[in-house]
């Protein structure tokens, strides 16, 4: 299918942060073939989309999350992370069934599409159901089976991960990529991480792991192993692999140097870290070291939404306030963190920028809004003022997933009904 988007203002988020007014964007099948000034095209297109009065930008890339945790949204709020996990979340997760994960993931995907996310990263259980939801919905997913190296699930998790990667890598017209997902240093001892490393070498996929999320975790690892969580991962050899480390809140200067030396990518989750009282990641220091930093929402149980526009704005504002420096994390940098840099963080090199040969993962904003007026700086508007309701079109792989507020591939009412029913049932089982 060939599509022409005509007359939009394109915010490319390329290295030069080029903005092209009154542009044409041509999409052939699943990729962009032209971005530039309007032309008199000789060929005919299957569809011509009027982009006048619109911003066209790369789709947002959510670099860290647990999609099916939408079922636990608002269930366990205003408590510290370890209490949240051990007393509230893990007991419910032990009751999860395959169908619960499928519908919880569908709810997450619905929310993400409606707020402009075109790629999401997931680490959870029953990942075949997550992959099925990605395949059916049309979104792009970077998926891993969560691994815990303690107890009876340790061996099963590795076996399921190998099966999952073998089954789903590259499926969904290339929209599904896979990783290995050891949960964290405090749930995956060094001996287990070495088994993860061996499996990673066999499968040749990246790794994602939670790292240095809380001070409690850092102190616990320091007491047990005599080193920081980051140093522990380096000692096991895990950081020699392509690694996406989520959170990275409590890092020393030495830890950050280790991440840089090993070219570890970081997923910054400001909303979740603030809500759980975990702290604030040293993002400016990471960026100064040239470390790739993307943005994530984490799960909806600790955020409580999957709105990457909000996360982008928070990332820009938070570090200005903490450092008392308004030049920290500029609007272009924040937008790049939510798109181009998040794509790099999850090891995708063909999304996150509006440019020829990139996948056609695009979102369009209606500029005819009071909060977009006057239009001095459109990038600043996207970062500091945009709302999900401004989004008029969401496209992934050249397929329109949402247009004028209507999601084209999903049954919204059915998804919300199923999610509500299953969430209430899960929580009532725990209460009993």
> What is the rounded distance in angstroms from the CA atom of residue 366 to the CA atom of residue 55?
7
Q: Confirm whether 165 is domain-assigned.
A: yes
Question: Does residue 250 share a domain with residue 233?
Answer: yes
User: Same domain for 146 and 182?
Assistant: yes
Tokens (6 digits) for 292: 């790739």
Q: Could you tell me if 308 and 234 lie in one domain? A: yes
In a domain, 331, yes or no: yes
**Co-location of 47 and 185 in the same domain:** no
What gap in Å lies between CA 242 and CA 204, rounded to an integer? 9
Contact between 144 and 125 under an 8 Å Cβ cutoff? The reply is no
Q: Cis before residue 381, ω within 30 degrees of 0?
A: no
| Residue 173 counted as domain residue | yes
Structural domain contains residue 430? no
Residue 146 lies in a domain: yes
Q: Output the pLDDT for position 430.
A: 61
| Closest residue by Cα to residue 174 from 411, 398, 400 | 398
Q: What is the pLDDT of residue 120?
A: 98
pLDDT of residue 76: 80
Tokens standing for residue 330? 């500029």
pLDDT of 223:
97
Global pTM value: 0.97
69 and 38 in a common domain: no
Contact by Cβ (8 Å): 341, 315:
no
Q: Any idea what the CATH number is for the domain that residue 201 is in?
A: 3.20.20.140
pLDDT of residue 88: 80
CATH number of the structural domain spanning residue 46: 2.30.40.10
Partners of residue 329 on adjacent β-strands: none
**Do 135 and 213 reside in the same domain of the chain?**
yes
Instruction: Determine, yes or no, domain membership for 432.
Output: no
Of 345, 362, 385, the position where a domain reaches its end is: 345
Give one DSSP letter per residue of 379-395, joined into a string. HHHHHHT--GGGEEEEE
Determine the pLDDT at residue 94.
Answer: 86
Measured CA to CA, the distance from residue 115 to residue 110 in angstroms comes to: 9
Count Cβ atoms below 10 Å from residue 155 Cβ, excluding itself.
Answer: 12
Q: Could you tell me if 286 and 247 are in contact, meaning their C-beta atoms sit under 8 angstroms apart?
A: no
Domain that holds residue 301: 60-345
- In this prediction, residue 432 carries a pLDDT of 43
Q: Answer yes or no: do 265 and 255 share one domain.
A: yes
**Domain shared by 148 and 246, yes or no:** yes
Q: Are residues 203 and 119 in the same domain?
A: yes
Q: Is residue 101 part of a domain?
A: yes
Phi, then psi, of 397 in degrees rounded to 5: 60, 30
Same domain, residue pair 365 and 333 = no
CA 407 and chain centroid, separation: 20
336 shares its domain with 221:
yes
What is the mean pLDDT for each group of 10 consecutive residues in the chain (432 residues)? 97 98 98 96 95 98 97 86 82 90 98 98 97 98 97 94 98 98 97 98 98 96 98 98 98 98 98 95 98 97 95 97 96 98 98 98 98 98 98 98 97 97 82 46
**Among 172, 186, 171, residue whose Cα is nearest residue 401:** 172
**Domain check: are 222 and 175 in the same one?**
yes
**pLDDT score, position 425:** 87
- Answer with the one of 315, 345, 375 that is the final residue of a domain: 345
Is the Cβ–Cβ distance between 41 and 48 less than 8 Å? Answer: no
Extract the tokens encoding 313.
Answer: 């704005």
413 in a structural domain: no
Q: How many domains does the chain have?
A: 2
For 309: left if phi > 0, alpha if psi spans -120 to 50, otherwise beta; the answer is: alpha
Rounded Cα distance, 167 and 405, in Å: 34
């Amino acid at each position: 299918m060939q599509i022409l988007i005509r007359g939009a203002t394109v915010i490319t988020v390329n290295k030069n942060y080029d903005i092209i007014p009154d542009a044409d964007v041509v999409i052939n099948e699943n990729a962009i073939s032209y971005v530039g000034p309007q032309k008199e095209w000789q060929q005919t297109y299957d569809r011509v989309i009027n982009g006048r009065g619109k911003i066209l930008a790369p789709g947002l890339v959510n670099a860290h999350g647990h999609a099916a945790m939408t079922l636990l949204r608002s269930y366990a709020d205003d408590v510290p992370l370890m209490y949240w996990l051990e007393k509230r979340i893990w007991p419910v997760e032990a009751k999860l069934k395959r169908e619960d994960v499928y519908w919880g993931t569908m709810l997450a995907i619905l929310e993400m599409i409606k707020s402009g996310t075109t790629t999401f990263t997931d680490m959870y259980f029953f990942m075949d159901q997550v992959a099925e939801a990605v395949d059916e919905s049309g979104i792009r997913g970077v998926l891993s089976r969560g691994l815990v190296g303690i107890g009876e699930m340790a061996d099963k998790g590795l076996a399921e991960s190998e099966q999952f990667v073998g089954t789903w890598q590259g499926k969904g017209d290339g929209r599904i990529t896979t990783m290995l997902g050891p949960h964290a240093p405090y749930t995956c001892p060094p001996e287990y991480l070495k088994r993860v490393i061996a499996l990673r070498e066999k499968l040749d996929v990246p790794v994602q792991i939670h790292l240095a999320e809380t001070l409690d975790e850092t102190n616990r690892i320091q007491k047990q192993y005599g080193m920081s969580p980051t140093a522990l991962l380096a000692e096991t050899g895990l950081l020699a692999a392509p690694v996406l480390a989520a959170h990275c809140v409590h890092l020393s200067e030495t830890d950050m140097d280790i991440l840089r030396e090993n070219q570890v990518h970081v997923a910054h989750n400001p909303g979740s870290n603030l809500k759980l009282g975990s702290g604030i990641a040293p993002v400016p220091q990471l960026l100064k070291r040239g470390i790739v930093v993307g943005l994530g929402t984490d799960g909806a149980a600790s955020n409580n939404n999957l709105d990457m526009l909000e996360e982008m704005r928070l990332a820009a504002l938070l570090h200005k306030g903490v450092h008392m420096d308004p030049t920290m994390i500029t609007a272009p940098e924040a937008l790049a963190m939510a798109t181009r840099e998040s794509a790099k963080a999850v090891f995708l090199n063909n999304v996150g920028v509006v440019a020829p040969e990139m996948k056609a993962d695009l979102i369009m904003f209606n500029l005819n809004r009071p909060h977009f007026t006057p239009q001095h700086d459109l990038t600043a508007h996207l970062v500091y003022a945009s709302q999900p309701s401004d989004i008029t079109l969401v496209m992934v792989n050249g397929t329109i997933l949402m247009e004028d507020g209507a999601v084209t591939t999903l049954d919204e009412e059915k998804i919300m009904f199923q999610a509500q029913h299953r969430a209430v049932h899960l929580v009532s089982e725990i209460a009993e």
